[in-house]
Structure 1
Amino acid sequence: MESGHRIEAALDAAFARIETPAGPPKLAAAMRHAVFGAGQRIRPRLCLAVAMACGDDMPAATDSAAVAIEVLHCASLVHDDMPCFDNADIRRGKPTVHRVYGEPLAVLTGDALIVLAFQTLARGVVAAPERMGRLVDIVAAAIGAPAGLCAGQAWESEPEVDLAEYHRAKTGVLFAAATEAGGAAAGHPDPVAWRTLGAKLGEAYQVADDLRDVAADPERLGKPRGQDAALGRPNAVAELGVVGAITRLKALVGEAVGSIPPCPGREALQAHILDETGRFVPKELARQAA
């Protein structure tokens, strides 16, 4: 099954277990609003790509890991968009959760999605308890303190922020979790060896996001541009300039591809990553830096 269809099927299955008449309908609707739509599923696709490069001997475990990573990402977006943080009106080309369902339900939606990540892991990896502990630890570290998504969001409240540290916690950590979880789900003997790949790709993606924030078409971006400058957030373009940011992005991709550990599908994975990351930079800026 093509990875995109596989991820959507796994997400549908996870939601089918929680969308019952016994639960509050608006909460279920808000959770679905947060997860389904125009998302690119970059992180779960990366998780699947690593697992498949390692042999993908237990697809149920791989699918549950990919779902956990994606719903954690969606939870972070719901909270990030709220008035206490970015106060965003649009996400993925549609109104944000708190604009549609209100702030109380948006808080609960993000919380419930975090819990759903662990529920999905518990069900999907039950046949391989020896892999469960590692996967739970990977996912928990990616969302909490001292270096998970919560920490990344918290850096925005500090008076001084190191750009690289901010990028690692805000974006890189979930990419690193995706690659490590893909290896762990497939039974790779050293899942930690996959962290560098994800960490480098995550930092590259954040640099690309900073470039898009400066120059991308808002309609294609799915949210207003110029948000970093408006909110005083760290931004690679502000620090390095356009050409410097693109140079940094390309260097990170090269480091990521070079870090892939030995596995049956190493060459195919390298080619896949180079193809995917080739679309990171907005065309307008790619021409400018050429």
Structure 2
Amino acid sequence: MDSDRRIERVLLVAIESLSSPASPPGLLAATHHAVFPGGARIRPRLCLAVAAAYGDPAPEVTDAVAAAVELIHCASLVHDDLPCFDDAPLRRGQPSVHRAFGEPLAVLTGDQLIVLAFEALARGAFHAVASGVMDARKAVRFFEVLAAGVGMPQGIIAGQAWESEGKVPLATYRRAKTGALFEAAAVLGALSAGQDGGAWGALGQRIGEAYQVADDVLDLIGQPEDMGKPAGRDGALGRPNTAMELGLSGTTRLLQRLIQDALESVPTCPRADDVRSWAMELGDRLMSACRSRVAGVAAASSA
């Protein structure tokens, strides 16, 4: 089974586990809406790629941690889109959860996805111990890693909170807002294969920062129909944005450097070249999308 089908399957199983006559139907529908259809699913794909670098010895464990990471990401998008934050009408080409189901259900949907993520992680930890991938003491690391990627001081909740502060260094913002969960995905992928995982944090962080930098460019000059969400929100809301601070040329150079740093940070492992190839393919896509939009802006300016 290819990684995309594998990810969609485990996410569907997680969401279907909520289906019950006792479940509020509106919340159940909103939760499904928040997860499907998916975006690029880069975070769980990173998790699977790192596990595969060691032969993916416990696929049930890898599936569980990959699902947990993506469910946290989906929760963050639901909350990010709320009127009190970005008030975004679209997400992934469809109405955002609060537009489709109302603000109260959107808040609860984000909360439910966070709970569901840790339930998935608990199943992963159980399978890890049962399959002999790790002992119970080491299985606690799953929860420590994901919690660090989500909460303060450097997780995605902190990244969201920085938007309410008067000033924040851009690198600090990028690392918390986006890099932290990518870092967790890479480390969890290694843990699911019975490895220590710590050496993989740099790869996840660099990929996450690169992803945020590319997103900043697209927010500045992208088209909503290509992005599946509104453009220009950072400028309208006064959010930190690398492209607005460094300019398009400076931001492109930063993106190139982050991608190169990511490639160089892949630890020694049995299939390190496969991970580098995956990261290079992702980096090429990010660079191509940014260069295409920059070229389009330049052509429009000279017309």
- Give the structure 2 partner of residue 229 of structure 1: 235
Structure 2 CA distance for aligned equivalents of residues 287 and 81 of structure 1: 28
How far is 1:287 from its partner?
Answer: 7.6
Q: 1:228 to 1:58 in 2, by over 3 A?
A: same
Structure 1: 5+ residue stretches without partners: none
Q: Could you give the per-residue CA deviations for residues 138-163 of structure 1, whole angstroms, max 9, x where no partner exists?
A: 11111111111111110011111110
User: Secondary structure of 2:162's match?
Assistant: helix
Say how many residue pairs are matched. 288
Structure 2 CA distance for aligned equivalents of residues 75 and 145 of structure 1: 16
Structure 2 CA distance for aligned equivalents of residues 141 and 39 of structure 1: 23
Which residue identity is paired with 1:121? L
- Indicate conservation of the 8 Å contact 2:128/2:192, yes or no: no
1:27 aligns with 2:27: yes
Q: Could you give the per-residue CA deviations for residues 171-199 of structure 1, whole angstroms, max 9, x where no partner exists?
A: 000110110110111111x3010000000
Which residue identity is paired with 1:184? L
Deviates more, 1:133-142 or 1:71-80: 133-142
Which residue identity is paired with 2:256? K
Structure 1 CA distance for aligned equivalents of residues 110 and 37 of structure 2: 16
Structure 2 CA distance for aligned equivalents of residues 277 and 183 of structure 1: 21
Structure 1 CA distance for aligned equivalents of residues 53 and 296 of structure 2: 33
RMSD (Å), alpha carbons = 1.3
- Give the structure 2 partner of residue 165 of structure 1: 172
- Give the structure 2 partner of residue 209 of structure 1: 215
- Give the structure 1 partner of residue 132 of structure 2: none
How far is 1:286 from its partner?
Answer: 6.1
Structure 2 CA distance for aligned equivalents of residues 46 and 166 of structure 1: 21
Aligned residue runs from structure 1 range 124-163, under 5 A: 124-129=124-129, 130=135, 131-163=138-170
Q: Could you give the per-residue CA deviations for residues 45-67 of structure 1, whole angstroms, max 9, x where no partner exists?
A: 01100110122110011001100
- Give the structure 2 partner of residue 198 of structure 1: 204
- Indicate conservation of the 8 Å contact 1:38/1:93, yes or no: no
1:180 aligns with 2:187: yes
User: Secondary structure of 1:147's match?
Assistant: coil
Q: Percent identity?
A: 53
Q: 1:80 to 1:13 in 2, by over 3 A?
A: same
Q: List structure 1 segments (4+ residues) > 3 angstroms apart after TM superposition.
A: 286-289
Which residue identity is paired with 2:243? V
TM-score by length of 1: 0.96
Which residue identity is paired with 1:285? V
Structure 2: 5+ residue stretches without partners: 130-134, 299-303
Q: Could you give the per-residue CA deviations for residues 219-260 of structure 1, whole angstroms, max 9, x where no partner exists?
A: 010111111100111111111110110110010011111011
- Give the structure 1 partner of residue 39 of structure 2: 39
Aligned residue runs from structure 1 range 1-290, under 5 A: 1-129=1-129, 130=135, 131-188=138-195, 190-281=196-287, 282=289, 283-285=292-294
User: Secondary structure of 1:127's match?
Assistant: helix
TM-score by length of 2: 0.92
Structure 2 CA distance for aligned equivalents of residues 205 and 269 of structure 1: 17
Structure 2 CA distance for aligned equivalents of residues 12 and 225 of structure 1: 29
